[in-house]
Structure 1
Amino acid sequence: MNAQAQDWDDLRLFLAVARAGSLSGAARSLGVTHSTVFRRIGAFEARLRVRLFDRLPGGYALTQAGKEMRDSVIRIEEEITALGLKVTGQDQRPTGTIRITTTDLLAVGVLPRHVAAFRAEWPEIEIEVVVADTVLDLTRREADVALRLGNPGQETLVGRRVGRLAFAVYGAAGLHARGADDPADGDWIGYGSAHGPLSRRLARWWPDARQVYRTNSIIAAHAGAKAGIGLAALPCVIADCDPSLIRAAALPEDFMLDLWLLIHEDLRQTARIRLFLDFMATALAADADLLEGRCPCKTRPAQA
C-alpha cells in the first residue's frame, strides 16, 4: 500500500508539471518547493527509464511518451476522484472537514460570524476556507463547497441561491465634506476589468468618472474608501456596518448579484455538507435586509 501511495503521489506530481508547463507552477499548485518538484520528477523519470519532459528555456514540454502518460494519468485521476466522491457521499457522520472556496469579499464580509455559529452547534466539524477569485474545481475535489456570486452552471454541480447582494456608492466622511456628494464630480476607486457586471454598469452610469485608484479586490476598494482615496461601489453588507463610511449615493438602478452555494452532486448526502448548506441557507435568509442594503442606519447619505 505504501508503494502504491508513493506511485500515485509521483503521478500527481507528473500531472501537475504537465498542466502547469513549469516546475514553479506545479510547486505552487501542490504546495511544495521548486526543488522538491525538480528532484522528484528527475527520480521518477530515472525509475521509469524514460524522458517525460523536454527541458526548454520557456518551461517543461511533454515528450511523446509524456503525452501518452498524461492521458492515462488523467483517466486514473478521474476514476479516483469519482470513487472519492461516492465514498464521501455515503458519510453520514456529522464530523470531519468542509473545504469552502469563496472570494475575499464573502470570506470577510459574510462567512465568519455564520461559521462561528455553525461550529458552536456542530463543534466536531472543522472549516477550511480557500480564498480565490477563480472557482476551484469541485469535480476534482479542490473544494467541497463554493460560496459564489453567480452560478457557473456546471452540469455536475448542485446549486442553491441563498441571497442577493446589493451595492451602493460609499466614501469616507471627509469626502462628503469636501463636496464629493455627486458621484460624477468625485474621485473614484475603480475595479478595472475585474468584477465585470459591476464595472460595466459603473462605466455606463458614470462614463467620465475620475478613477484615481484601481484594484481587482473589493476588500482593497473598501480599505481605500475608508482611507479617503475616493468613492467606491461597495456591497452594503460590508459598508453599511462600517461607521467610518457614509453611503454617498444609491446606484442609478437596483444592482444586485445573486449569492449561490454550490456542491458536487455526489456530496448531497454527506451529513456534514448537508448540515452546512441547510444552516447557511437559513442564516443568509435571516440576513436579507443587510445583504440587500436595507440596514436602517445607512439608508440615507450623511449630512455635511
Structure 2
Amino acid sequence: MPVTAPLAWDDFRLVKAIFDQRGLTQAAERLGINHSTAFRRLGQIEASLRTPLFERHRTGYVPTPAAEEMVRIAARMEEDVLAFTRRIESCGLTPAGELRVTTAASLLTGLLTPILAEFCARCPEVRLDVVVSEQALNLAKRDADVALRATNDPPDTLVGRRLATIAWALYGRADLDRSVPLDAQRWVSPAPRLGAAAAARYVQERTAPERVILRLDTVQGLADAVESGIGIGPLPCVIGDPRPGLVRLSEPEPELAAGLWLLTHPDLRRAARVRAFLDFVGDALTRQRDLIEGGRPDG
C-alpha cells in the first residue's frame, strides 16, 4: 500500500534517536522534545507507513526491518548534512564563530588554559566551547571541531600534527620515606578504563595487588592523590614536575609515553577559525615540548 503522507527529515531523526537510545524517553530527551510528543509522532509515522517500526519489549524498543532501513537512510542524510556544513564553514576568511574543542582535564589544567587565554585575546571573534572528556569524541559527527589528544594511534579519518611525546614517570611526595623499597610502598593507580592501560599495567608489574590503595579514573585526581600522600604512582611529567610537593622516583618510563596530537576533520582544516587555532595552539605547545617530554624543570 502507498504511504499515506510524505516523510520528513524529522521523522528519520526520531526513528534513529529511538534506535540509538533503545527507548522513547531517552530519544525524546536527546531531541529536546517531551515523551508524549515523541510517542504521538512515532504513532503517526507508523500509521503513515502502515507498518510497525519498533517492537515494545520490557528491555526497550527493538527495531523492525523497516526501522533499520530508516536508520541507515538517516545516518547517510546526517553525514551529508555534516559534510555540507563543514564545506561551507571552510570558506570563511577571518577567524570567527564558535569553535568546539575537546581535551582531557589533565591537558587542560595548567597546560592548555593559559594558551586558550592568549588565543581568545588574539582572536576575539572566536567563541570557544571546551568539552573536557577522558574519552575520544567523534569529530566526524561534529561532537567537536578540534581535539587535543594523548594517543599513539590517531584515527586515519582525522588530520593534524604531533606536537610532542608525553613522558610519564613515577612520583611520590617530597617527604616520602626513601628507606622503604618502592615495591613495599603504598601505591595509587590509574583505572584501566581511563585509557591509561599501560600505566595500570606498570603499577601491576611493580607491586603486589594489596599495596594498591586507590584507583582513579582521572589523571588529575591521580596527581592529587600522590600529592596528598595516599601513595606513589605514575604521572605525566607535565603534571608531576610543576608540583613542588612531588618528586620523581624514576626517569621517564618509555613504555608509558604517548604522542600529543592536535587534530581536526579534513573538511574543517581550512576554516579560518580552525586554522588559526591549530597554528596558534600548536606553536604554543611546541614551545613547551621540554616540559611535556620530561625535561627537568628549571631550578
Contact 2:169 2:253 in 1 (8 A): no
- Per-residue deviation at 1:24? 5.8
Q: Bigger CA drift: 259-268 or 249-258?
A: 249-258
Q: Name structure 1 gaps, 5 residues minimum.
A: 1-6, 299-304
Rounded Cα–Cα distance in structure 2 between residues aligned with 1:239 and 1:166 = 10
- Per-residue deviation at 1:121? 0.8
Rounded Cα–Cα distance in structure 1 between residues aligned with 2:100 and 2:41 = 31
- Pairwise mapping of residues 71-110 of structure 1 onto structure 2 (< 5 A)? 71-110=72-111
Rounded Cα–Cα distance in structure 2 between residues aligned with 1:201 and 1:243 = 24
Rounded Cα–Cα distance in structure 2 between residues aligned with 1:27 and 1:190 = 39
For the residue of structure 2 that corresponds to 1:250, the secondary structure is coil
Rounded Cα–Cα distance in structure 2 between residues aligned with 1:70 and 1:97 = 29
Contact 1:98 1:127 in 2 (8 A): yes
Contact 2:24 2:39 in 1 (8 A): no
Contact 1:92 1:269 in 2 (8 A): no
Identify the residue that residue 262 of structure 2 maps to in structure 1.
261
Identify the residue that residue 46 of structure 1 maps to in structure 2.
43
What fraction of aligned residue pairs are identical, expressed as a percent? Answer: 34
Rounded Cα–Cα distance in structure 1 between residues aligned with 2:122 and 2:84 = 30
Rounded Cα–Cα distance in structure 1 between residues aligned with 2:140 and 2:225 = 37
1:22-49 deviation line (CA, Å, top 9, x unaligned): 3465467x385xxx45233212213322
Rounded Cα–Cα distance in structure 1 between residues aligned with 2:287 and 2:180 = 32
Residue 200 and residue 271 in structure 1: after superposition, are their counterparts in 2 closer, same or farther (change >3 A)?
A: same
- Per-residue deviation at 1:234? 0.9
- Per-residue deviation at 1:111? 1.5
Residue 252 and residue 84 in structure 1: after superposition, are their counterparts in 2 closer, same or farther (change >3 A)?
A: closer
Contact 1:163 1:259 in 2 (8 A): yes
Residue 253 and residue 266 in structure 1: after superposition, are their counterparts in 2 closer, same or farther (change >3 A)?
A: closer
- Per-residue deviation at 1:57? 1.3
Contact 1:10 1:40 in 2 (8 A): no
1:238-262 deviation line (CA, Å, top 9, x unaligned): 1211223222333555742110011
Q: What's the RMSD between the two structures over aligned residues?
A: 2.5
Q: What code does the residue aligned with 1:183 have?
A: L
For the residue of structure 2 that corresponds to 1:94, the secondary structure is coil
- Per-residue deviation at 1:74? 1.3
Identify the residue that residue 250 of structure 2 maps to in structure 1.
249
Identify the residue that residue 172 of structure 1 maps to in structure 2.
173
Q: Name structure 2 gaps, 5 residues minimum.
A: 1-7
TM-score normalised by the chain length of structure 1:
0.84
- Pairwise mapping of residues 65-144 of structure 1 onto structure 2 (< 5 A)? 65-144=66-145
- Pairwise mapping of residues 210-221 of structure 1 onto structure 2 (< 5 A)? 210-221=211-222
Identify the residue that residue 287 of structure 2 maps to in structure 1.
286
Rounded Cα–Cα distance in structure 1 between residues aligned with 2:282 and 2:179 = 38
1:208 aligns with 2:205: no
1:154-211 deviation line (CA, Å, top 9, x unaligned): 333112101121112222334x1x447642221111123231222233434x153621
Rounded Cα–Cα distance in structure 2 between residues aligned with 1:39 and 1:256 = 51
Rounded Cα–Cα distance in structure 2 between residues aligned with 1:183 and 1:24 = 52
- Pairwise mapping of residues 292-303 of structure 1 onto structure 2 (< 5 A)? 292-297=293-298
Residue 80 and residue 159 in structure 1: after superposition, are their counterparts in 2 closer, same or farther (change >3 A)?
A: same
Rounded Cα–Cα distance in structure 1 between residues aligned with 2:207 and 2:221 = 22
For the residue of structure 1 that corresponds to 2:95, the secondary structure is coil
Identify the residue that residue 185 of structure 2 maps to in structure 1.
186
Q: Bigger CA drift: 87-96 or 102-111?
A: 102-111
Contact 2:241 2:297 in 1 (8 A): no
Rounded Cα–Cα distance in structure 2 between residues aligned with 1:13 and 1:185 = 57
Contact 1:240 1:297 in 2 (8 A): no
TM-score normalised by the chain length of structure 2:
0.86
- Per-residue deviation at 1:109? 3.9
